[in-house]
Chains A and B, each alone.
Chain A
């Protein structure tokens, strides 16, 4: 028989092997699910993984992958910093909303003034808004010892109500005939986060996501702060002795992840989404948590995981419209990905050992 034994240090091989095995297992079991639903599994998997990248209309889907992946990556990078240090910001969705509202609010207040630095100002406003929203649970944690998981999550619902209120009231389009929703920022040139090169999907949010990946990589591997982060997560007491201030750590991590989520929201609302509407947020803040773990909390890993996640969304839509696969099946497929990843994680931290035969 076998027994499960904790590894002295996590296996580096399995740390990277686990996501790959998880993706393969998801394909096998997802394919089986599709087959049970009466759909050719090979064709469905081809539509999900091949069609958006190299299929007939890939020229349209490839840019869309960037558009879909950018907010996921940007938010996940911020979250991963805190997750490494054992600080659990679950409320990125709320910070995303508030960032979007702050930036869009600035633009709507100045409408129709054409100002070439408007978009940069909006980005800053978005980052500040997101950071402040993230600092609320951080402050409550360090001051009153509240649980940041709970508080940051609850603040998502507060942010959603605020968003609805803005779409129906303060930020409502005065020329919208009473319908909810703000002016469309896509029609306000100074505020529009347009594609930098037309047809490539490359908007400033994609650039920001790439910069965040590089920046996080350097900070984590080369900078003292990255070291403090990792130590706080792995050995909080040792970190304390080494002079890491846990209060500061919480504030910095929540602030940074909030700022990045806020920026992601702003890029989205000023670009692809265009307007403050009641249902502006579509769950990027929550999906980014999956992306962060799928990417092993590693910046490069997150980059790849974000693109993979975007692929399952876009490929999923293709299978829906071309093969009539129900949305629920796609969502189960996405869920399997995280499920298998967590299961495979067992192999990173534990190993199987044959048990020695006991003497009779």
Chain B
């Protein structure tokens, strides 16, 4: 038994060593991507894959990229990452929150491989985390949504009640309320990131309940299709531009733009300057893009939305600026005070005015 154990450890160590050697001496830098959805989802994974393609285009023959799509979070992702590391990947992007612990586990076994985990919070000597301030884009959406609604009911398709999604709801609500004090948010939780059937159902329910603007934090275009069918409902592209539904129902979008980050990090690995980082960039740095605002939006609203976008990009406006109360009426931010990143990262409450409870 003991012999087997030693043998097993030895082979594993050998594997790690050969993996590391491949990393050191291979002519090409190998970059791996682990995707949670299919590359054709038209949303989250699609944009990460665009980032991968941008890396290929930018570096040409210098870099080789590999990817595996629709990898379940948990042990399967751990295996896929290990496989990439064994086969000589120098840098691996793991692009879903649920890959957090697996990334840390695999990273500890391959100290010479660099890992980049999207939307998580655990770092290590060879693990960086990165995410985008999508809530900045949500603020712009909220302004347009609040101005466009006639029924004063805005539908919101949430994926999972996690800080990331709750931030978006709050940010959109704050701006919508500013331009339209009568606005009301109806929130449906789909408990999925990508499920066209469920997302379409959620959109239909919201439309039936009188919503004439729908915001979504899920990745498929199914809500856009449902809105198009209903006729007079406005939507926003999520993660990806979803331009095929413009000018109506899609009036604008939040676009995740990972390309500059992926290129910069790959360059850092090639140069040997890669260091652990905790990146959280927004509109200003170009990680969050606002898709074209179509002519379905009145000119003055468009102008106001673009002004807000520029103000957020330059840092003049923070979407979470006091006075703001929590949902229960207790004070959160005083006049002029802005939320700190720590609170935002773990945000688990609604601001005052949003009805309904965050499911637990």
Are both chains from one complex? Answer: yes
> Would A327 and B76 count as touching, CB distance under 8 A?
no
Whether B60 is near chain A, meaning CB under 8 Å from some CB there, is: no
Contact residue among A161, A168, A186, A274 (Cβ-Cβ distance under 8 Å from B160): A168
> Would A314 and B79 count as touching, CB distance under 8 A?
yes
**Residues of chain B with a CB closer than 8 A to A169's CB:** 359-360
Q: A180-B160, A272-B75 are in contact. Are A198 and B191 (CB under 8 A)?
A: no
Contact residue among A179, A274, A314 (Cβ-Cβ distance under 8 Å from B121): A179
List A56-71 residues whose CB lies under 8 Å from chain B: 57, 59-61, 64, 67-68
Whether B230 is near chain A, meaning CB under 8 Å from some CB there, is: no
Whether A321 is near chain B, meaning CB under 8 Å from some CB there, is: yes
Q: A165-B360, A179-B163, A278-B160 are in contact. Are A327 and B70 (CB under 8 A)?
A: yes
Whether B84 is near chain A, meaning CB under 8 Å from some CB there, is: yes
Whether A345 is near chain B, meaning CB under 8 Å from some CB there, is: no
> Would B15 and A57 count as touching, CB distance under 8 A?
yes
Q: A197-B1, A199-B11 are in contact. Are A277 and B74 (CB under 8 A)?
A: yes
Contact residue among A161, A177, A274, A326 (Cβ-Cβ distance under 8 Å from B345): A177
Whether B292 is near chain A, meaning CB under 8 Å from some CB there, is: no
CB distance from B30 to the nearest CB of A (A): 10
Contact residue among B87, B98, B345, B360 (Cβ-Cβ distance under 8 Å from A168): B360
**Residues of chain A with a CB closer than 8 A to B5's CB:** 197-199
**Residues of chain B with a CB closer than 8 A to A273's CB:** 74-75
> Would A199 and B72 count as touching, CB distance under 8 A?
no
**Residues of chain A with a CB closer than 8 A to B161's CB:** 168, 180
Contact residue among B38, B86, B101, B347 (Cβ-Cβ distance under 8 Å from A184): B101
- Give the CA-CA distance A320 to B11 in the complex, in Å: 25
* Residue on B nearest A184 in the bound complex, by CB: B101
> Would A320 and B69 count as touching, CB distance under 8 A?
yes
**Residues of chain A with a CB closer than 8 A to B73's CB:** 277, 279
Q: A178-B348, A184-B101 are in contact. Are A321 and B87 (CB under 8 A)?
A: yes
- Give the CA-CA distance A186 to B101 in the complex, in Å: 10
| Residues 325-360 of chain B, each 1 if its beta carbon lies under 8 Å from chain A, else 0 | 000000000000000000001111000000000011
- Give the CA-CA distance A322 to B68 in the complex, in Å: 9
Contact residue among A177, A200, A275, A317 (Cβ-Cβ distance under 8 Å from B79): A317
- Give the CA-CA distance A313 to B77 in the complex, in Å: 12
> Would A199 and B98 count as touching, CB distance under 8 A?
no
Assign chain A's interface to a size class: 35 or more
Whether A252 is near chain B, meaning CB under 8 Å from some CB there, is: no
* Residue on B nearest A323 in the bound complex, by CB: B66
> Would B347 and A59 count as touching, CB distance under 8 A?
no
> Would B83 and A317 count as touching, CB distance under 8 A?
yes
Whether A93 is near chain B, meaning CB under 8 Å from some CB there, is: no
Contact residue among B11, B67, B347 (Cβ-Cβ distance under 8 Å from A321): B67
CB distance from A309 to the nearest CB of B (A): 14
CB distance from A182 to the nearest CB of B (A): 11
> Would B8 and A198 count as touching, CB distance under 8 A?
yes
> Would A272 and B86 count as touching, CB distance under 8 A?
no
> Would A64 and B347 count as touching, CB distance under 8 A?
no
Contact residue among B8, B69, B101, B162 (Cβ-Cβ distance under 8 Å from A275): B101
* Residue on A nearest B97 in the bound complex, by CB: A179
> Would B98 and A321 count as touching, CB distance under 8 A?
no
In this complex, which of A268, A272, A313 has the most chain B Cβ atoms within 10 angstroms of its Cβ? Answer: A272
- Give the CA-CA distance A184 to B87 in the complex, in Å: 28
- Give the CA-CA distance A68 to B360 in the complex, in Å: 31
Q: A199-B5, A314-B79, A326-B69 are in contact. Are A321 and B84 (CB under 8 A)?
A: yes
List A165-223 residues whose CB lies under 8 Å from chain B: 165, 168-170, 172, 177-181, 184, 186, 197-200
> Would A59 and B346 count as touching, CB distance under 8 A?
no
In this complex, which of B32, B86, B101, B345 has the most chain A Cβ atoms within 10 angstroms of its Cβ? Answer: B101
Whether B12 is near chain A, meaning CB under 8 Å from some CB there, is: yes
Contact residue among B69, B70, B160 (Cβ-Cβ distance under 8 Å from A164): B160
Q: A57-B87, A321-B84 are in contact. Are A199 and B160 (CB under 8 A)?
A: no
> Would B4 and A197 count as touching, CB distance under 8 A?
yes
**Residues of chain A with a CB closer than 8 A to B80's CB:** 317, 321
* Residue on A nearest B82 in the bound complex, by CB: A60
**Residues of chain B with a CB closer than 8 A to A275's CB:** 101
Whether B90 is near chain A, meaning CB under 8 Å from some CB there, is: no
Whether B78 is near chain A, meaning CB under 8 Å from some CB there, is: yes
| Residues 83-116 of chain A, each 1 if its beta carbon lies under 8 Å from chain B, else 0 | 0000000000000000000000000000000000
> Would A57 and B346 count as touching, CB distance under 8 A?
no
> Would A64 and B191 count as touching, CB distance under 8 A?
no
> Would B68 and A164 count as touching, CB distance under 8 A?
no
> Would A59 and B72 count as touching, CB distance under 8 A?
no
* Residue on A nearest B19 in the bound complex, by CB: A57
Whether B279 is near chain A, meaning CB under 8 Å from some CB there, is: no
**Residues of chain A with a CB closer than 8 A to B76's CB:** 282, 313
CB distance from B249 to the nearest CB of A (A): 29
In this complex, which of B78, B79, B161 has the most chain A Cβ atoms within 10 angstroms of its Cβ? Answer: B79
- Give the CA-CA distance A218 to B83 in the complex, in Å: 38
Q: A57-B86, A180-B160, A317-B83 are in contact. Are A282 and B67 (CB under 8 A)?
A: no
Whether B151 is near chain A, meaning CB under 8 Å from some CB there, is: no
**Residues of chain B with a CB closer than 8 A to A165's CB:** 359-360
| Residues 300-328 of chain A, each 1 if its beta carbon lies under 8 Å from chain B, else 0 | 00000000000001100110111010111
- Give the CA-CA distance A60 to B12 in the complex, in Å: 7
Q: A178-B346, A179-B162, A322-B87 are in contact. Are A168 and B359 (CB under 8 A)?
A: yes
A-B CB proximity, top 5 nearest: A199-B8, A169-B360, A178-B346, A272-B75, A282-B72
Given contacts A278-B98, A280-B74, 7 further A-B contacts (CB under 8 A): A178-B348, A180-B162, A181-B98, A199-B9, A320-B67, A320-B69, A322-B87
Can you list 14 A-B pairs with a CB-CB distance of less than 8 A? A59-B12, A61-B83, A168-B160, A178-B162, A178-B346, A186-B105, A199-B5, A199-B8, A199-B12, A279-B73, A314-B79, A317-B83, A321-B68, A327-B68
Q: Which residues of B contact A (CB under 8 A)?
A: 1, 4-5, 8-9, 11-12, 15, 32, 38-39, 66-76, 78-80, 82-84, 86-87, 97-98, 101, 105, 121, 160-163, 191, 345-348, 359-360
Q: Which residues of A contact B (CB under 8 A)?
A: 57, 59-61, 64, 67-68, 160-161, 164-165, 168-170, 172, 177-181, 184, 186, 197-200, 268, 272-275, 277-280, 282, 313-314, 317-318, 320-322, 324, 326-328
